[in-house]
Amino acid sequence: MLPVPSFLKERTVMSRQQKLIYLPLAGTILLCLLVGVYLAAWKRFSKPAPSARIIKHSVETPAGDALKYWTADKMRNAKAAPLPQVNDLERGKQHPRRPPHASSPHQA
């Protein structure tokens, strides 16, 4: 059996080693929690505010009347509607452009 002073010294050394193990573990856990909170807050608050509301309008003109109105001559002389100016790029997923359908009326 070990003498009492040697046993106490060994126990003190063991408790110091145990504390040295717990401090980095606690620091790592705290760091992971802080990173998780930061990423959650960044994802939540990084969404841009909607710039304009979408408004629906009902059209009471029958489709047949619209087709009769837009003759080939009127379509040829039609002016393009002004589009909104967009100066900054939006972050997010870029959707691939789809090729036109082979059965589109413009290719007939």
**In whole angstroms, what is the distance from residue 44 CA to residue 22 CA?**
33
| Any domain includes 106 | no
| Any domain includes 38 | yes
Instruction: Summarize pLDDT for 8-29 with one digit per residue, the tens.
Output: 677 777 777 666 666 677 788 9
Residue 92 has pLDDT above 60, yes or no: no
**In whole angstroms, what is the distance from residue 75 CA to residue 105 CA?**
14
Q: By residue range, what is the domain housing residue 11?
A: 1-46
**In whole angstroms, what is the distance from residue 39 CA to residue 19 CA?**
30
Residue 51 has pLDDT above 70, yes or no: no
| Any domain includes 99 | no
Kindly report which listed range (57-61, 90-94, 104-108) carries the lowest average pLDDT score.
104-108
Once rounded to an integer, what is the mean pLDDT over residues 28-57? 83
| Any domain includes 67 | no
pTM assigned to the model? 0.30
Residue 3 has pLDDT above 80, yes or no: no
Instruction: At 26, list the tokens.
Output: 């606690």
| Any domain includes 37 | yes
Contact 10, 2 (CB under 8 A): yes
| Any domain includes 8 | yes
Provide the number of structural domains found in the chain. Answer: 1
